[in-house]
Amino acid sequence: MSETKQYHINDIFYSLQGEGFYTGTPAVFVRFAGCNLRCDFCDTDFSLKETLTAGQIVSRTLSLLPDTTSSSASYRPLLVLTGGEPALQADDSLLDSLHKAGFYITAETNGTHPLPEAIDWITCSPKYAPVILKRVNELKVVYRGQDVESYYQHIEARHYFLQPCDLSSVSNDNPTTLRDTLGYILLHPHWRLSLQTHKLLHIP
């Protein structure tokens, strides 16, 4: 591990995964600062808050786990690399350190940059920019009425989720509504619904 390398971090916290396949699962989140895209609906704070070495990140993540974690030898705590865009910073050195600490590492990416192969689970959430990833574990598309079948055809995944952009409105006037997303899924049942349950629950 290179202890001199600094990673730009926005936040490290412990909560429940709110979206997609691992919804409801306790997880440590490492939110990287910075993103290569500027989506108009983005409500994520990915500003730079601190710079940490891999060792410091591991120490921080382990300190957040409950004491009961070590009582099960087979349990691997879930860790979510997110952002911003984690592919801009996550590297083999950091992943090796987190694996040695026992974590099962997932990453949430916009798919525009390659990710290290050592990541255990990739969730790709395409935005307006071309996706270079061809195979992921989970494809999770924020549905705004766009053509999502091109993603389905060109990105191989085990799970395909559509997620409404805005849970606050169910008006038929707004193409980003929950009702429109439900309607689309009922007509195209190879998709499943993902909700941002952390927003419904008012947790981080």
Binding site for ligand SF4 (CB under 6 A): 35, 37-39, 42, 44, 46, 83-85, 110, 127
- 66 and 15 Cβ atoms separated by less than 8 Å: no
Residue 39 annotated to the active site: yes
Distance between CA atoms of residues 86 and 84, nearest Å: 6
Out of 8, 19, 21, 29, pick the active-site residue. Answer: 29
Quote helix, strand, coil % in the chain, to nearest 5.
25, 25, 50
Closest CA to 79 of 108, 117, 42: 108
108 or 180, CB closer to ligand SF4? 108
Contacts of 171 (CB under 8 A, 6+ apart): 177, 179
C-alpha span between 27 and 73 (Å, rounded): 17
Q: Is 120 among the residues known to form the active site?
A: no
Smallest distance, ligand SF4 to C-beta of residue 68, A? 32
Residue among 35, 82, 176, 177 flagged as catalytic: 35
In whole angstroms, the minimum distance from the beta carbon of 124 to ligand SF4 comes to: 11
Amino acid at the residue 106: T
Instruction: Choose, from 11, 13, 25, 39, the residue flagged as catalytic.
Output: 39
Nearer CB in complex with ligand SF4: 58/162: 162
Considering beta carbons, is residue 97 or 110 the nearer one to ligand SF4? 110
Distance in Å, CB of 67 to ligand SF4, minimum: 33
Residues designated catalytic: 29, 35, 39, 42-44, 108, 198
